Structure 1
Amino acid sequence: MSPTTDATDRIDPAARIGRVTLAVSDLDAVIPFYRDVVGLRVRERDDGRAVLGTDAVGGTGGAPDGEDLLVLDAAPDAGPRPPDAAGLFHTAFLFPSRGALGDALSRVRDAGERLTGASDHRVSEALYLRDPEGNGVELYRDRPREEWPEADGEVQMDTLPLDVDSLLADRAGDADDAGDAAPADTAVGHVHLEVTDLDAAEAFYVDAAGFDVRQRWESAALFVAAGGYHHHVGLNTWNRRTAPASGTGLVEFEVMVPDGDGLEAIRGRLVDAGVEVHDGSDGFLAVAPDDVRVRFASA
């Protein structure tokens, strides 16, 4: 399936990922991971829900009062995600510098967490681990865009070994202990999903929602983005999932669009494509393939 090329059918280049919502069976077990290891702050908390994000911005690129990045909904009766179910591959937290990623690695080690991977993707450097309920997490930093390799209009990402000792040596050192806050400019850089059908996913995210294809990887993965980013949404069939998303794990994620006109254009394309859409006060919720919920909202 090929993406459309008419610029009026593309998502606004300033679109980005907003909050990610996860259903978890035990809030008290999961909150410390995202607070002490990732470095997020608990911004709201009650018996059934926790909202985590950043503190007020001391640099550039975020909201003056901080920003919500992750919502944890208590779902003690939901049951674990079935092994054949589609859903979250990982939530990727983007740090503003290599030093800040080094600090994150220091927090991982101080908290006694174990990395499941560490990769140089040519466009970024990334650390991988899992939260207490098995949800995939990526901690990464981007290289400058002028260093990203491209060919034939696509970014050329790869998976190469990452020198974690060098990364640790380059840590900024101002937030390197378990429980220290991540920088205010930390964001959710992308969401990576496991899907049952890559063509169906492309029809939703590219042909209807309007993201651009940034890389196809061995006919089993697709990376799409707005504004020339390497990817805002990753999609893969590596583990051959065969059932819709269910159980604990991903509830929904947000795509933030700068203005209402752009939001309405996306809604129109999704409706024309037969996608189930539910309107809300600040945007709309669309049901993507595999029953993944994507909330499009005005930034």
Structure 2
Amino acid sequence: MLTGVRIVVLGGDARQLEVIHRCVELDASVSIVGFDTLEHFPEGAVKETLSDQLLSTADVLILPVVGCDDSGNIQAKYADSDTTITLTAKLAAELPEHCTIFTGMAKPYLKEICKQNRIRLIELLDRDDVAIHNSIPTAEGAIMLAIQQTDFTIHNSVALVLGLGRTGFTMAKTLQGLGADVRVAVRREEDIARASVMGLKPFLTRDLEKHAGQADLIFNTIPSMIITAQILSKMKSKSFIIDLASAPGGTDFRYAEKRGIQAMLAPGLPGIVAPKTAGVIIANSIVKLLLGEQNDRGNKQ
């Protein structure tokens, strides 16, 4: 149980609602900011306004998956239209040193204020228990987009998956299950064997230009420029690119548009296509960490 733990949730979307419900179920004291327009208010949570007093009592601060921008502004889907939620450096300084901040990914601004105030920061999307589970709704969402935006079947199509990390692995296996001719771009020689054992057709990223011309679909997971103008110049005009890497992605979107190739930047698909599942994944990870800390303190006592 999380009895006695004071949790403050700032902004977010439907994923945060699952986090709130889970924390309340475990008897935490939960205060929420930026949920004013909700029709069904989370039972057991207390609606608050952002203040230094609120943050000074927080054991845990939960931010949206995208954290905050470089000015500290926080996305809040359910906030009033005229309300801006900003985690300023002054407000952050009110957080107790024992406080832990949870977010999906942190930009330099958030990392810096945590460093200055010696606040523990946990980026959930870096954790395997979140990223691997999250790869499933990501793959399902990418497949949905491919079906909606093309006039051919995934079955028998040539699908390139760039990167064989946590998302790339699930993406490749999902496409394989749908009967696509799946070819995977990997960076290291040792990954060639791993992909081959999976029944995939691997090649090194440096050889992408040789394979791009055969692609009907490209799913990119590499967060750096890889689908360059040179690569795009080799591709069929009816090819479709879904870039799953975090913004700005790894595609030259300007040149893709110039060539008439449809390319879509689609980060954050779990929160769009399956917010409930994505929220449960995040909630389970946060609760696991908090309960683990409580057990550690109990053992030391």
Tell whether the structures are fold-level matches, with TM greater than 0.5.
no
Greater fraction of residues in strand:
1
Higher relative contact order (CA 8 A, sep 6+): 1
Please identify which structure carries the higher helix content.
2
Larger radius of gyration: 2
TM-score in terms of structure 2 length: 0.24
What TM-score do you get using the length of structure 1 for normalisation? 0.24
